[in-house]
Structures are given as structure tokens and as C-alpha cells.
Amino acid sequence: MSINNNMIDVLQDQKWESIPWKKLQVGDIIKVKQDGFFPADLLLLASTNADGVCYIETANLDGETNLKIRKALEKTWDYVTPEKASEFKGEIQCEQPNNSLYTFTGNLLIQKQTLPLSPNQILLRGCSLRNTEYIVGVVIFTGHETKVMMNAMNVPSKRSTLERKLDKLILTLFATLFMMCFIGAIGSAIFVNKKYFYLHLDSSEKGSAQFNPRNRFLVFLLTMFTLITLYSTIIPISLYVSIEMIKFIQSTQFINKDLCMYHSETNTPALARTSNLNEELGQVEYIFSDKTGTLTRNLMEFFKCSIGGEVYGNGVTEIERGLAERNGMKIDENKSANAVQERGFNFDDARLMRGAWRNEPNPDVCKEFFRCLAICHTVLPEGEESPEKIKYQAASPDEAALVIAAKNFGFFFYRRTPTTINVRESHVEKMGKIQDVSYEILNVLEFNSTRKRQSVVCRYPDGRLVLYCKGADTVIYERLADGNTNNNIKKVTREHLELFGSAGLRTLCLAYKELHPDVYESWNEKFIQAKSSLNDREKKLDEVAELIENDLILIGSTAIEDKLQEGVPACIETLQRAGIKIWVLTGDKIETAINIAYACNLINNEMKQFVISSETDAIREVEDRGDQVEIARFIKDEVKRELKKCLEEAESYFHSLSGPKLALVIDGKCLMYALDPSLRVMLLNLSLNCHSVVCCRVSPLQKAQVTSMVKKGARKITLSIGDGANDVSMIQAAHVGIGISGMEGMQAVMASDFAIAQFRYLADLLLVHGRWSYLRICKVVIYFFYKNLTFTLTQFWFTFQTGFSGQRFYDDWFQSLYNVIFTALPVIIVGLFDKDVSSSLSKKYPELYMEGIKNVFFKWKVVAIWAFFSVYQSLIFFYFVSTTNLSAKNSAGKIFGLWDVSTMAFTCVVITVNLRLLMICNSITRWHYISVGGSILAWFIFIFIYSGISTPYDRQENIYFVIYVLMSTFYFYIMLLLVPAAALFCDFVYQGVQRWFFPYDYQIIQEMHRDEVDNTGRAQLLEVGNQLTPAEARSYAISQLPRELSKHTGFAFDSPGYESFFAAQLGVYAPPKAWDVARRASMRSKPKIGHKK
């Protein structure tokens, strides 16, 4: 690989020498410069920054663009220069190579000391160096042993459901080919007989063994192989090439360049990362969606807080507003004129702003609250040290929002070193006074998914030791000290947490604890021992953290709003009308997830909700005993009982005529047991009967398991959509994976099949592009099947007239060019440009999408109908032409021969199958006329040239001058009119009857809007017209110029069956009645009223 040929500086003889990456070895000391990538997994020895600190970007590993801090051990800070680095002598003891990106266990033995190594000293391959002149490091793992390479896996290969059904159709054609050949071979074995002595079948000449009556079995075998070659055109080999070409153009030209899916704010267009699944987008029945960053913006804003039992913040969330609207209430939101507006801070309450908190009943608690926000984090400040210009690099948007909140409350965090945090505090001692305070950071107990909390031990300038802790309410409340004051605040704050959760806000609890120096020193020794441990280091660190994270004093809680993305509720409602069921799989707690589901219109008050939660008194009581075996058994029994009860209740609703829609809410702990093989079927049956499903507190693996359960268990077409690294497994598990390029990096996009910028674009992707692609590909496949079968059957009927000898009916060149030139282009044009209804009507009537879910256009019934017409038309082509030929004569008075008849029949076949294509088009453009006319013209040009040339060593002499002889007769022109008309007559009648009496939904919409001009493209361009580049603006201006509109709609028959369509929208089946047809057909058409321009 070329990347391994990049050069890197390696220490050799006290100087830096450049060598390729591929020559690096474990133990090499290397130098990586700013903005350079790390060529291997390294141990950081030294950095040009103070205190051995460097900044890295890990976007290639986890998609995060936030800078991470790494710090060298103090013993190695001096090894910056090549002279010093050459003095380095030590031994590294570490774990075996593994794929865990976020863990590392090892020790550095240097100068007779054993120093513990952690992920903070490790620089992984794939990351890049930022804001640091250069670093010096030691190579630990290289090549395929690096963590990023061990995480590499083969992307699952996906094929659309329609492609798999196409394989079955091809197998059916192979079976048909075998039967035709078998019939022909049997006929040949029977036909050969000595009574046909004049044919010299038993001749001893070379090559005559094929028809020797004395060996009928050999005749059977040889004829079988001959006919396989002769009938091989029934297999549409060019179909796969045509489909791939159509899909590729659909992806690159239609999906990628659709301005309706272009996000101007981030300059992000839609991106089709594969062309295999275009038509799969038109058949999706289940959507599995992440919540944070997918349904919501992942733009965290500090919105409210609770301090010392008092709620602060006057804002109203979108969920509260939506809840009020559902209850028929109106909320008036009055924002104060002096409210601070900043990205990440949307807080409005004058009681805490500009030092006003000093006048509150609990100013000391407020002060601890603000200090906890300013100190307890891992945020990195960038830029100038002023509140207006500073930027924060945080591991998550939540953490950045909390630090920004502290800044606006007067506790401005502006500088971080490896051992200190500097905060500019305002109004602490007295109003208006500003002072810079440096807090020494002694220990950081980092957040992880198990701990669900983060703690910092810091020393104040006056020597006071304080532990600040923030985390999920469940884990913080378990570690609070007993006491009347604390108990009162606990009770009130829990009520506030429920209030925040019902408003759809993300909550964290804040607590602190003052430490005695002796207690801290004793604990710190255990902490250092745990950090030095080579075995189970993470577990031991968690155990040590438990020793100090107790008897905490509750300060309060924060509430951060993650706003819904624009247009999400409307998009979900549209998708639900299209027959698509949407499941939300989120790591958030159950209250937040339910309220987001309400805001998104996934759940409403009319639904019957089944809630299966582990947060019950019975389960808590068992968990308090601590017996893990008993806990697992009890929860599994409870989940089984709940599932059984919910399923029985759901079935009772189905038996009633007016039962409510159902919604299922289940949390991750219960889901873990529900996914057990013994309960999985029950969970699947309940879930499939629910209108909406919300899974809370789920892990990435559980997301993938739920997706696979529906995909494999229910055999439904699934789509997963997410924006973060935790959604990758879910995206890859579904039939179609959609990545949203959001705030959580690009990892979801890199693992996806299609990428969009906003959830609302899913409506365009599925209802417009997906549906069109499905319809087009179905037409292409069925048409290929029809035209190949029709062509081959004419040859098959001819076999019966030739004693099953394998005599060909058509010239070899006719047979070779039939699929390549004479019928190739029109079907591609249909696959690219055919539209049943416009994009605006597709979204206005999302019920049209149900035809794709039911796979209406690619059923065996449809194949059988087309096969019937193929048989009928092939009989017309062969027998009509061959029978009328008996009485026809050329200008010389001679009857026509074999090649005259076959050329006449082939001409009729080419004209008929091309005209048949126009009959299935819903919209006819100039490209249709050009392709169909061009294909027919190509045949005549070819035959004029081909039959005008004669070579003595070629079978071309068979058709020499044939077309000229044919066109000199009146018979040719009569056949040219009568044969296609007779062949297409049945198709014409069938389409008319079908459209009148059994119309598809899209045909009803066509008739309703047949007189409307499709201007949706221009209207959509107006939305982005102001964000275009000069070149794009010019193209846009040209597109606005008046142009001639096509007068051909492609809607050949009027359809009166409107009642059935509107009834279907209401969930009632009402087939069109014959008397309605007769009544409407007899009605006089009303005069058209001209529209005002």
C-alpha cells in the first residue's frame, strides 16, 4: 500500500533518519511532526509542549473531531532531542495485541523504577498530531498488530431482495430452457425414422451420427446440446449489465444531486455509497432509528438546572409545547430582554445571571454548583483566553455545554495544564470582583459506560481538598450521605429530575465531598497501586474509586436540551402513512425516550402503551440482595410474565373492531432477557403487532440484535439510521444502512450504504427515489424477461416445423445483436426516466409506497401474465408470418424462402417489443422517442448494410439481398402493420380493463392530477437558490426559462375507481364497482376552467 511508503523520522546514531513506515520495527524511537499521522501504536516519551502534553485527533478511529489530550510520563519528558532520546534505555511490559481502542495495560521499567502505563500515554496508528510541533515516541505495535488494524473487518456484502428474487426468476428461465430443450430432444429422437429414407439419416458420412435412427439415445443427447445453444437467448445475460448501469446512474446523478436532500448549512449533499440497494429503498417496512443526533440535533444547550432544591430556568422545550398543544393548552413563553444567547447555552433566568445568585437563599450551594461545572471535566480550551473568543474541545457536546454554562454564570475556565485548571471567578467574594484561581488537579476518575459518572479530586489554593462528582442520577443517589438536609434535597431534586425528564431534557446530578488529607493520602496510595497493576487494571481502578466516591453531598442537577431536528415529526408522520413502522433504539433513560417519542408523533395519548421496565420495586428488592444468579432468574421470569400478559392483551385488541394502536416501550436490561432464544419469538410477535416500539438504555450490540431479529425472524425489509459510532453495528445489520453526517463524527457514514445530513430527508430518499427505483427496476426486469422469452419462443415454434433438427430460424447476427443493439437502449431509458407520479405527489400521497412494501410489481402473478403475452405474441410472430407467407410472392413471382420469412418475423419482433415498452411507460419524454425510434432505425440500417454484402466463405449469403426483395412487395408493408397490431391487441385490452376496473393506486392519482403540470423541480430549486455558487446560479437561472411542455402524459385510460383509493387511506377495503365504472363513463365531461396565471 502506498500509505506504508510514507517517510518517518527514526532515531539512528543520535540523529533522525527518514525511512518508510513499512520498515518500522518494535522498539524504534521515532519523531512525528505536527499534522502528521502516527505510523504505528506508540508510547509517548516527550513533546515540545510543556509537561509532556500533546493533542491528537482521533477522527479516523472513532469519528470524533474533538481533540484529545495525551501526556507523557514525567520521567521521559526530557527525551525531546535526538541526543537525549539516544540515552533512553528501558523495558516495556504490556498486554498482547488486541482490538480495544480505549484500554491499554502496561508498565515502563526505567532507571530501576516500574511506572504504570495507561491509554493517556498511547498514540494509536490512524490518529494525527495537532497543536504540537513534534513528539518523540517508542513503537509498541506495528502493522496488523496495531489496534486500528485489529479493528478492521470486512464490510458485509448486501444484495437487495429484488435481486435475490431475480435469481429465482433466472433459475425459472433455466428450468424453462431445459424443458424446451428436453421436449425438442425427445421430439428429435422420435422423429428420426428409416421411413424418411430420402433424408439419408443413416448415412455413414461424417457428422450424420446426430440423426442416426439406430442410436436414438445419441440423437437425444446431441440434439439436447444443439438446442441449448439455439435457445440460450432466453437467459437475459445483458440484464445484469443494464441493471448495474441504471443503478449507478440513479445513484450518482439522481440521489447524489437531489437538491431536496442538500443541507445548505453544512454544505452536505446526499451520498449513495453503494448502487446495489436503490430499489431496496422502495420496499422498506421497518426503520430502526437512533435518537440522539438522528431524531435530535445533538446540539446540546444548557437549559435548566436545580440547585439546592430550587429550580432555575424559564424556558419551554419543544416537547412541553407539543404536550400542551395535545391537551388543548397554549403556553406563552416570555424571554427576558437580557437573556444570554450562545451556542450551547439557552438559559433564561435572571436570578443566577451576572452575580444575582449571591442574593439567593443558598449562595454557597450555587458557588459549589458552578465550581463543579468549571472543574469536573476533561475539556480542552483553545484560542485566546477571553470569554468571547475561547473555544472548547470536548469529548461530548454535553460536557462542552456544562463548561459554557459555568462561563456564563461567572466561572470562566480558560486554561488547563496536566496538573492544574485555571478558572476566572466573578462575584465570589463581593459583587463585581473578578479573580483568577488555580485549582490543582490531583486525580481524575474518568467516565465510562459502567461507572456512568466522572470525579475529580482537586486542591484549592488554601489547601482544601474537594472531590467533585457528576453523573447519572441512579449512580449518584446510591452514593449520597444520609442526613436530614441531604434527604430533603434528594427528595426535591428527584421531583425536579422527573420534571426535566418529562420535558425531554438530558439530566446529570452534581455532588461534592470534602476530603481529610490523611484519608486522601491513604486512598491515593491504593489508587497508584491500582494504576500500576498489569492485571484487571480497570476493574481495580473502579473498586478504588468506590472507596472515595461515597458520602457525597448533593448540590443539584443540570438539564440539557437536545432539540429535535427540523421536520422530524412531519417526516415520521409521512413515513407512518406510507405503511412504515418506526422503532427508536436509544441509550437514553425511559422517561426521556418516551417524551421524545411523543414529540416525534411516534406515540400519542390514543395509543395503548405496553411498558416493560426493570425499574420496578420487585426487581429493585431482588437487586438489593446482590445475588446475581437470583437477579437474572427473577428478571427473566418477570420479563416472560410481562411479555405474555402484553401479548394476550394485544391479541384481545385485534379481535375488537375499534381497538387502539399499540406501542411497546422496553429498557435494555429487560431486552437482554427478552432476546433470549426462549423469549425471542414472544417478543417478536408482540413487537410486530405494535405501531411503534421504543427501546431504551440499549447497547450497540442490542441495537444490532433487535434489527437482526426483525430482519431474520419476520423476514421484513429493514432500514437502520444513525449518526454515531455506536450505531455502526445496527447500520450494518439492516438491509439498508443510512448514516447521518452529524455531530458525532463520520463513522456511521463510513459504515453506511447511503448518507444524508438530516433525518427529514429520509422521506425524499424512500418515498421518491426508493419508490421510483423499485418501479423502474421491476419494469426493466419484467421487460427483459418478456422480450427474451418472446424472441426465443418464435425459434421454439419453428423447431416443430423442422423435425426437431435444431435448424435455426434467425441468422446468427440477428440473434447476437437482438439484446445488444436492437432492444438495449429503450429499456435503459425507462429504467432512468420513468415516473408514475411526480416527487411532490409521491410525498403528498405516501400511501403509494405500500405497493413497494407488498411487492405488487414483482410477483409471480405478474411474471405469469407477461409470460402469457410472450407466448401469445410469439405465436402471432411465427404462425401469422409463416402462414400468410404461403400465398405471398416476390416481384419475380417466386414464393418466399426461410430467410425471407425469418427476416420478416424478426422485423416484426423488433418493432413490437419496442412499441410494447412505450405501452408500459407512465411518462414519455423525448428520450423515449429517440431510443425506441433509434433502435428500430438501427435494425433497418443494419439489415440494409448486412444484406447488401455477400462473401463466399460466410453464411451471410443466406440473407443476401433479402430486405430489398421484401421491401419491394406489398406483403412486407401489410405485415409491418398487421402483425404488431395483432400482437399488441391483447396487451392493449388487458391494460384498459386493468386500469378501468382494477386500477393501481398510482393510476388513480394519475387521473386525479392528469391536467396538472409538474413544476416541483423548480419549486424545490427556489429553496436553495440563494446558496448557489455563480456557476450553479447560472444553471439555476437557465432552468427557470420557459420551455415547451410535453403534451404526452402516458395516462392512456381514464380511471373512475377513486373511492377505493380514499377508502384504503382510511384502512377500509372498497374495491371499485362495475356500475360505478359505467355510470362515470356515461357522464359528460365538464368544461375545463382556465387557471389564472
Output DSSP code: residue 742: B
- Grid cell locating 311: 429550580
Q: 3-class SS at 767?
A: helix
- Grid cell locating 1009: 392530477
Q: Which amino acid, one-letter code, is at 616? A: T
- Grid cell locating 343: 451556542
Helices and strands in the chain: count of H runs, count of E runs: 39, 32
Task: Find the Cα–Cα–Cα–Cα dihedral 872, 874, 879, 880, rounded to 10°.
Answer: 80
Q: Is 290 a catalytic residue?
A: yes
Task: Find the Cα–Cα–Cα–Cα dihedral 143, 144, 150, 156, rounded to 10°.
Answer: 120
Q: Choose among 773, 694, 780, 681: nearest CA to 736.
A: 773
Q: Concatenated DSSP letters for 910-977?
A: HHHHHHHHHHT-SS--HHHHHHHHHHHHHHHHHHHHHTT---TTSGGGGGTTHHHHHHTSHHHHHHHH
Q: What is the SS3 string spanning 63-97? A: CCCCEEEEECCHHHCCCCCHHHHCCCCCEEEECCC
Options 9, 258, 290, 764, the catalytic residue: 290
Taking the C-alpha atoms of residue 159 and residue 244, their distance in angstroms, rounded to an integer, is 12
Taking the C-alpha atoms of residue 842 and residue 857, their distance in angstroms, rounded to an integer, is 17
Tell me, rounded to whole angstroms, the distance of Cα 485 from its chain centroid: 51
Q: Which region holds residue 504: left if phi is over 0, alpha if psi is between -120 and 50, else beta?
A: left
- Grid cell locating 743: 455531530
- Cβ–Cβ under 8 Å, residues 140 and 40: yes
Q: Concatenated DSSP letters for 353-412?
A: GGGGGGGSS-HHHHHHHHHHHHHSS--EEES-SSTTT-EEE-SSHHHHHHHHHHHHTTEE
Taking the C-alpha atoms of residue 281 and residue 772, their distance in angstroms, rounded to an integer, is 9
Directed axis angle between helix 860-875 and helix 970-997, to 10°?
Answer: 160
- Cβ–Cβ under 8 Å, residues 749 and 769: no
Q: Concatenated DSSP letters for 610-651?
A: EEE-S-SHHHHHHHHH--HHHHHHHHHHHHHHHHHHHHHHHH
- Phi, psi torsion values for 490, nearest 5 degrees: -60, -45
Question: What radius of gyration do the chain's Cα atoms show?
Answer: 38
Chain length of the chain: 1093
- Grid cell locating 998: 382494477
Q: Choose among 776, 818, 772: nearest CA to 795.
A: 818
Q: Which amino acid, one-letter code, is at 343? A: R
Q: Choose among 1051, 689, 615: nearest CA to 835.
A: 1051
Strands (E), 383-541: 391-393, 411-416, 420-426, 434-445, 453-459, 465-471, 505-515
Taking the C-alpha atoms of residue 222 and residue 205, their distance in angstroms, rounded to an integer, is 16
Tell the residue number behind the cell numbers 411518462, with chain if given: 923
What residues are labeled active site?
290
